[in-house]
Structure 1
Amino acid sequence: MTVRQVQHSGDIRDDVTADFTAAFGGSPQGVWSAPGRVNLIGDHTDYNDGFVLPFAINRRTVVALSPRADSVARVATSFTDEVAEIDLRELTPDAVSGWSAYVLGVAWALGQHGADLEAVPGFDAFVDSTVPVGAGLSSSAALESALAVALNDIWRLGLDARTLARVGQLAENEVVGAPTGILDQSASLLSREDAVLFLDCRSLEAEVIPTGFAEAGLEVLVIDTRVEHAHADGGYRSRREACERGAAALGVPALRDLTVDDLQRAQRLLDDETFRRVRHVVTEDQRVLDTVAALRTEGPLAIGGLLDASHASMRDDFEISVPELDLAVEVAQANGAIGARMTGGGFGGSAIALAPSDAISRIRVAIDGAFAEHGFGQPEMFTVVPSAGALRDR
């Protein structure tokens, strides 16, 4: 999703309401929002039926929406002057493109989950966001989830949050064309304040695990490298295909069904590249389980080494890091972080550092200096706190 980022000086809910009125006239019937997410650990495990540990962040995508008297859907945003418009009765995956595919794709996907697009009313919607685009913080899932909860309410569909996560994933897979798993939408819809979401991507069973960050004097610093990535590109797809090849060769439905003890056999059966892709997923699943166990028994100060190992695995085995991400992680580790890793799909985006509150300023200054020294563009850095999932705001 390539759009310009808009700065907000006040309450984005007030902004989006005013913008709706300017674009469409009248007041919206409601305002809904959904958060971006940080994945604490567990990347590229979701589409392998594995385990993930994300949390929603206090940056959100907001939609103001009202039903119409006809079957037309119109969508506008502060990101662009374009207003997308289509009759819901003509909505197919091939009928939309660009940024509006994320929005109108949700309407189509709801049709696949029981909404009668021949009968439901059309709608006007205005979208705005404080989730950085292209930063690996799931701006697309936040957009899909905000629209999903809004249309679920307006159309009185009665779908639960887990089903709406499936709706968002279907929209992204079939309409946008990105072969993503269920992690991002689940995090945006199911998260709770002050907790991570322990999600089994096979069963969609989810458990809220308190982080203990504040009590331990820790904060999560996001380092947005501003190196943009795109999930619909070949790098992401080729990693997924390698995982599918590995599972087939090893005779299991998904890599989730392997353990670390199976890696010796995998190395004998697979070519080197496919083996390393498999090894990342299998060891990352175990790191998620180990992180959950550590949070439950020892607290967050015990998880730093797992975060560091996760980054090394994504860098060396899955090969989805970039020099900017590696530098951000290394500098954070050298300046007081207890653990740091890239987060998200890779090929750009953001890293996170879990660090004592009194080390955050030092880490930020050191990263700024290191990026300048290496000739990289200036990163954007901000702290995030685990926040609530998608909801109706007004």
Structure 2
Amino acid sequence: MTATPAPALSAVSGQFESIFGSAPDGVWQAPGRVNLIGEHTDYNEGFVLPFAIDKAAKVAVRLRGDSCVRLLSTFGKQGLVETETTTLAPGSAKGWTKYPLGVVWALGQLGLDVPGFDLLMDSDVPLGAGLSSSHAIECAVIMALNDLTGAGLGLEDMVLATQRAENDFVGAPTGIMDQSASLRGSKGHAVFLDCRNQSVQLIPFDPREAGLVLLVIDTKVSHSHADGGYASRRESCEVGAQVLGVTALRDVGIGDLEEASGLLDSATFRRVRHIVTENDRVLQTVERLTTDGPAHIGLLLDASHASMRDDFEISCPELDLAVETSRAHGAIGARMTGGGFGGSAIALTPVGHEQEVRDAVVRAFAAAGFTTPDVFPVTPAAGAARLA
């Protein structure tokens, strides 16, 4: 990950000390992520290609001698929250605190005795933008607790523990992509993840070296995975797999779609078709990045967005406008990224067209009466780590 400037690190430690009375035991950082391609394929045991970004959550933590947990963030209206490790249960936490407390609960489910602790959280990952701000918090916290308690968890263990926190404590039926990118990212690379067995291959992805910039367009349409839209898509995929007689949609190939169309209702078939074709697009993207470089993946990004818009139906007018406007003003490929129903789009853009794309998207949103979007570049960064 890009090194955290000393003043920023000192500020987090200093704030912790002023709030909790003494210095933290350490400071940990975990990045958000952008999913380059491979949407909703993770919980179908398929392929994804995210990368860690140069925006991250930082947590300063100090263990306590009792079971009390005290949590505070540097943003938002939620003040200091106090609870006990012994009373945690699904649904017992509110706001951002459900993510660190979910990690504590999940570690408890593994039989680990997590002591109380004080925690100050700071993050520059945009909230609700589809850049995995929640998983960044979870990954920073599990890294901290793993180090401080000597639990000895490996990266795969931490991925599954944070997934359990999301699924069973937070109530969001997500897969393993986001935390895998945050924990296993590498500067200048995307993380090619096989969600069936957690195997990872780092794929070179350096847009700047190719004369490109990856722009994130935060539409300001907030989304949440713990709602009906995400859950209903997952349910459709499970129904499709059951009807087709496979363990997961990972096992359905492009050549099987014609037969599937005769076995499934039209809505379920469209959901299945997105997953099957999206897995294929991930594999094609990996091949093109490996052999030809980032300048050759634009059409695959476009096709991915069309599939999410038309087959999986998780886009929205703001995302569609961001993608269409970016392409019309110089981007070589664009797509929505994340779970959908809001959040962000990405636009792979030649460096010389960066400002044109930014300006055009802002103008288009204003003309449509939408909230002004944030448009900013991200670069592939390293994964979670201890900073101090």
TM-score by length of 1: 0.95
1:282-340 deviations in whole A, cap 9, x for unaligned? 00000000000011111111100000000000000000001010001001111111100
Structure 1 residue aligned with 2:55, among 51, 54, 59?
Answer: 59
1:216-263 deviations in whole A, cap 9, x for unaligned? 111100000000001111000000000000000000010000011110
The answer (yes or no) to whether the contact 1:97–1:176 under 8 Å persists in 2 is no
Deviation at 1:353, TM superposition (A): 0.5
- Are 2:144 and 1:147 equivalent residues in the alignment? no
CA distance in 1, matches of 2:105, 2:9: 26
Question: What pairs up with 1:246-325 in 2 under 5 angstroms?
Answer: 246-325=240-319
- Are 2:156 and 1:162 equivalent residues in the alignment? yes
Structure 1 residue aligned with 2:167, among 140, 153, 173?
Answer: 173
Structure 2 residue aligned with 1:88, among 63, 70, 85?
Answer: 85
- Are 2:76 and 1:47 equivalent residues in the alignment? no
Q: Which amino acid aligns with 1:262?
A: D
The answer (yes or no) to whether the contact 1:75–1:85 under 8 Å persists in 2 is yes
The answer (yes or no) to whether the contact 1:12–1:62 under 8 Å persists in 2 is no
Aligned to 1:24: 20
TM-score by length of 2: 0.97
Moved over 4 A (4+): none
1:323-374 deviations in whole A, cap 9, x for unaligned? 0100010011111111000000000000000111111111001111111111
- Are 2:96 and 1:102 equivalent residues in the alignment? no
CA distance in 1, matches of 2:272, 2:369: 34
CA distance in 2, matches of 1:347, 1:54: 19
Deviation at 1:204, TM superposition (A): 0.2
Q: Structure 2: 5+ residue runs without aligned partners?
A: none
Aligned to 1:345: 339
Deviation at 1:93, TM superposition (A): 2.2
CA distance in 2, matches of 1:260, 1:202: 19
Aligned to 1:221: 215
SS for the counterpart of 2:59 is: strand
Aligned to 1:77: 73
Structure 2 residue aligned with 1:386, among 362, 380, 384?
Answer: 380
1:10-33 deviations in whole A, cap 9, x for unaligned? 954233222212321111110001
Aligned-CA RMSD value: 1.4
Aligned to 1:5: none
Q: Which amino acid aligns with 1:284?
A: E
1:114-167 deviations in whole A, cap 9, x for unaligned? 412xxx431100001000000000000001000010000111111111211111
CA distance in 2, matches of 1:370, 1:96: 39
The answer (yes or no) to whether the contact 2:54–2:379 under 8 Å persists in 1 is yes
Question: What pairs up with 1:122-133 in 2 under 5 angstroms?
Answer: 122-133=116-127
Greater Cα offset, 295-304 or 94-103 = 94-103
* C-alpha distance 204-364 of structure 1, shift in aligned 2 (>3 A): same
CA distance in 2, matches of 1:310, 1:375: 26
Q: Structure 1: 5+ residue runs without aligned partners?
A: 1-8
Q: Which amino acid aligns with 1:30?
A: G
Aligned to 2:366: 372
Aligned to 1:192: 186
Q: Which amino acid aligns with 2:24?
A: P
Q: Which amino acid aligns with 2:208?
A: A
CA distance in 1, matches of 2:12, 2:341: 32
